[in-house]
Chains A and B, each alone.
Chain A
Amino acid sequence: MSLLEITDLSHNFGGLRAVSEFSLKVEAGELAGLIGPNGAGKTTIFNLITGLFKVSRGTIMFQGEDITRWPSHRISAAGIARTFQNIRLFKELSVLDNVRLGAYARHGYGLLDAVGRSGKFKQEEERQRQRAYELLARFHLTPYAEMPAWNLPYGEQRRVEMARALISGPRLLLLDEPAAGMNQSEAQDLIRVIREIKEEFSLTIILIEHQMRVVMNLCQWVKVLDFGETIAAGQPREIHQHPAVLAAYLGKDGALVEEGSQ
């Protein structure tokens, strides 16, 4: 049984076919890449997996369960976490609260426990708070814990998003352009961090990325999309020679990897 199995997924925006008969099989422990030019439908696929968009055609199976029509919060609780292309933190809330909210579904107490401050409440709050602080320390965010999230520099905000995604103990992590807006050395750091957390949290990762260096370095295999269609699939090394991929990105004679990056 694959961890995630998507079959014939399609999605339209009005008359525009954003995703067309997309299929994907990800085994536990893999690190897969999803690439393609802007507007190719990559983020739409993430939005379909996480229940943000309603699936009109196709099925999504996660750990053997059909999650196609589940609401987002249930999918998240089942073990799929994600980060966003344009960071979406809870800006006015503290960094600590942002991270704790990632574990919302893991707080095993009810409203009455909270109002009555029951033993269960105290125990759970303490547990999740400690877990949050562990993650803050892991991502070098401890000094920011009580600051509102908007106050942090861009790179730190990305790390908060990562901590928020990881605190729930997901099986599958969807990273939407984690290297966006990063320079070479920052991207290098990111590659290292992604490798580390994959081991530490025994994650399976699907990555959307434009920076080819990141994709080449990290992904075991890659799917290439253009206008919602899958135009190629394979190992990164094969992909960046693939004529259809080159055509989609840069026209016929383009070279996919920028000079000096190999």
Chain B
Amino acid sequence: MAISDTQRKLLIALAALLLLALAWALPASGLLNPYVVQILMYVGINMILTLSLNLVNGYMGEFSVGHAGFMGIGAYAASILTVWVLPKAWAAWAFPAVLVAGGLAAAVAGLVVAFPSFRTRGDYLAIVTLAFNMIVKSVLENLEVLGGPRGFLGMPRLTDLFWVTAWVLITLLVLRRVINSNFGRGIMAVREDEVAANLTGVDTRRIKLYAFLISAFFAGVAGGLFAHLLQFINPRSFSILKSTDMLVMVYLGGVGSLTGSLLGAAIFTILLEVLRPLGLWRWVVGPLLLVLLMIFRPRGIMGFREWKWLGEGSLRGLRNYVTGGKG
């Protein structure tokens, strides 16, 4: 059955609203057990992280391995706001703004990686991002004000399934719109052939700046959500291991795919929970999965493909325009 673009947009909007309503009502109703709700929230936070990392690693073709650094900066910035700056009574109302502030702090840190990316790429840029991640972690460990290695606590539990779902949807919406625009095509052109991109008029520096800023912003937001779910953060939560998890989710789900990011985050998060009885051994799963993926399916489940409802919808209409409706 063929449906028009307008109908499709309406259906997507309705589905999003329904999802939000469920995310609000289900935990409150007590029908879902709190443990499941908790897992769903982790899935959502990981979805945001995976989507944002995929913009740089999948769509732009760079290899950032320090994404947890951005998450950490967002987590600490948002926590400082709710614990020290905002009066307790306001914190709940100001939560969305707090998350945005955490995202902005991470985006500023994104500049640290964006500028080196103008001059270097590939393995060398990967090392820059690795160093960035380590610097963030050791700075946090040495800032006694923030609790140093013991961590930072006292955040109210403001993260709930509703906010997580809302931010997954926002991330999805923004990234989908960026990707299906001139800028998104520019980002992918950088991946395909940076020199040719420059010579066809793509301002690759600006493109890289945008990609890193957007990516870091959403990683920061995810950090804020994470901090206000756990109510306790320490520098080790944002180490290179966390970055590795994100890489696994990106390459499992599929590079250059929004659908893949959602799938990768969901599968990996749930898998780790199911494997909980394995104890320490389950931490082998992530890296092992990464090795196997790189060998057997380097593009992941949905690499460079998109579930059609998340793809660029308007093409079909245009094909009709060209073929006079016969296509």
Contact = CB atoms under 8 A, between A and B. Distances in A.
A5 to B, nearest CB: 21
Interface residues of A, number: 47
A104 B193 contact: no
A192 interface: no
A208 to B, nearest CB: 15
A77 interface: yes
A92 interface: yes
A73 B192 contact: no
A121 B199 contact: no
Contact of A88 (B174, B191, B196, B319): B196
B197 A101 contact: yes
Contacts of A111: 178, 183, 210
A73 B207 CA distance: 12
A92 B189 CA distance: 9
B78 interface: no
Contact of B192 (A91, A100, A124): A91
B195 interface: yes
Interface in B193-236: 193, 195-204, 210
Contact of A82 (B185, B199, B202, B204): B199
Contacts of B202: 73, 101, 104-105
B188 A93 contact: yes
B322 interface: yes
Chain B contact residues, majority secondary structure: helix
Given A90-B196, A93-B189, A111-B210, A105 B201 contact: yes
Contacts of B203: 71, 73-74, 104-105
A20 interface: no
Contacts of B201: 73, 76-77, 102-106, 168
Interface string A74-116: 1011000110100011111100110011111111010100110
Nearest to A146: B315
Contacts of B315: 96, 146
A23 interface: no
Contacts of B204: 73
A115 B178 contact: yes
Q: Which of A76, A96, A117, A128 has the most CB of B within 10 A?
A: A76
Contact of B318 (A82, A84, A124, A129): A129
B193 A88 contact: yes
A133 B210 CA distance: 28
Interface in B130-187: 174, 177-178, 181-186
A72 interface: yes
A90 B197 CA distance: 8
Contacts of B184: 114
Contact of A114 (B182, B195, B304, B318): B182
A92 B315 CA distance: 17
A53 B206 CA distance: 20
B185 A97 contact: yes
A117 B203 CA distance: 21
A129 B180 CA distance: 12
A121 B181 contact: yes
Given A91-B192, A93-B189, A101-B186, A76 B178 contact: no
A130 B304 CA distance: 25
Q: Which of B174, B196, B199, B318 has the most CB of A within 10 A?
A: B199
Given A101-B197, A107-B182, A133 B322 contact: yes
Going nearest first, the 7 A-B pairs with the smallest beta carbon separation are A90-B192, A76-B201, A114-B181, A105-B201, A72-B198, A88-B196, A107-B182
Given A73-B198, A129-B318, 6 more contacts: A52-B195, A73-B203, A90-B193, A101-B185, A104-B189, A128-B182
18 contacts: A76-B199, A81-B200, A90-B188, A92-B188, A92-B191, A92-B192, A93-B189, A101-B202, A104-B203, A105-B201, A105-B203, A111-B178, A114-B177, A114-B181, A115-B174, A130-B321, A133-B322, A165-B200
Interface of B: 174, 177-178, 181-186, 188-189, 191-193, 195-204, 210, 256, 304, 315, 318-319, 321-322
